């Protein structure tokens, strides 16, 4: 939640975002986060996370049209604030669809095309992660990648979907 709070602060154009759940953790001291007294009189101190403004956001979407309008049909938890906080947005997507398809349900468009600088169609581009509803996490691939052994990275890259098209 602290990362999302920092992204939201940048997206909202404010210098910080309050967040709960940090009290009792070493995260605040490690990151130098500050507290503010509740201005509404509860007497509680609230941690505030500084704005995080990435230079570039790269997200993977399920669908994108020729204007860069992008849909993420799974959870947009990170993608929404990230694309609003970043100075530039790049989108990779499972597939290119018509603008007519997206305009039939505009409320499903997560990132409007005017915010997108470039698009690339990369089928299975979230692998070994998931892209709802197209595919689930490939847990076997993740487990193989997590092994501490020579050649693991090379084997992982050779098994990636784009390796078959190389």
Quickly list DSSP for 93-140.
EEEE--HHHHHHSGGG-SB-GGG-SEEEE-TTTTTTS-BTTTB---HH
Mean pLDDT score of the chain: 94
Tokens of 54: 């990435």
Residues 116-166 have pLDDT tens digits of 999 999 999 999 999 999 999 999 999 999 999 999 999 999 999 888 776
Q: For 38, how many CA atoms within 13 A lie in the half-sphere containing its CB?
A: 9
Answer whether the bond into residue 133 is a cis peptide, omega within 30°. yes
pLDDT of 138 reads 96
Residue written as tokens 């039939």? 104
- Report the sign of the C-alpha dihedral through residues 17, 19, 24, 30, in that order: negative
Tell me the pLDDT band of 76, cut-offs 50, 70 and 90.
confident
Q: What is the mean predicted confidence (pLDDT) over 95-111?
A: 96
H runs (alpha helix) in the chain: 2-12, 27-31, 79-85, 99-104, 139-145, 152-159
Tokens of 123: 């089928």
pLDDT over threshold 70, residue 14: yes
């Amino acid at each position: 939640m602290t990362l999302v709070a920092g992204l939201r602060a940048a997206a909202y154009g404010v210098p910080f975002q309050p967040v709960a759940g940090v009290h009792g953790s070493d995260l605040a001291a490690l990151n130098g986060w500050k507290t503010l007294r509740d201005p509404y009189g509860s007497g509680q101190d609230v941690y505030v996370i500084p704005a995080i403004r990435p230079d570039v956001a790269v997200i993977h979407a399920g669908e994108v049209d020729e204007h860069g309008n992008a849909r993420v049909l799974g959870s947009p938890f990170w993608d929404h604030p990230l694309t609003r906080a970043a100075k530039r947005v790049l989108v990779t997507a499972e597939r290119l669809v018509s603008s007519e398809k997206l305009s039939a349900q505009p409320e499903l468009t997560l990132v409007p095309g005017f915010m997108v600088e470039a698009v690339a169609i990369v089928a299975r581009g979230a692998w070994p992660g998931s892209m709802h509803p197209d595919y689930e996490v490939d847990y076997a691939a993740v487990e193989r990648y997590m092994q501490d052994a020579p050649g693991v990275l090379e084997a992982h890259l050779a098994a990636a979907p784009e390796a078959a098209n190389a």
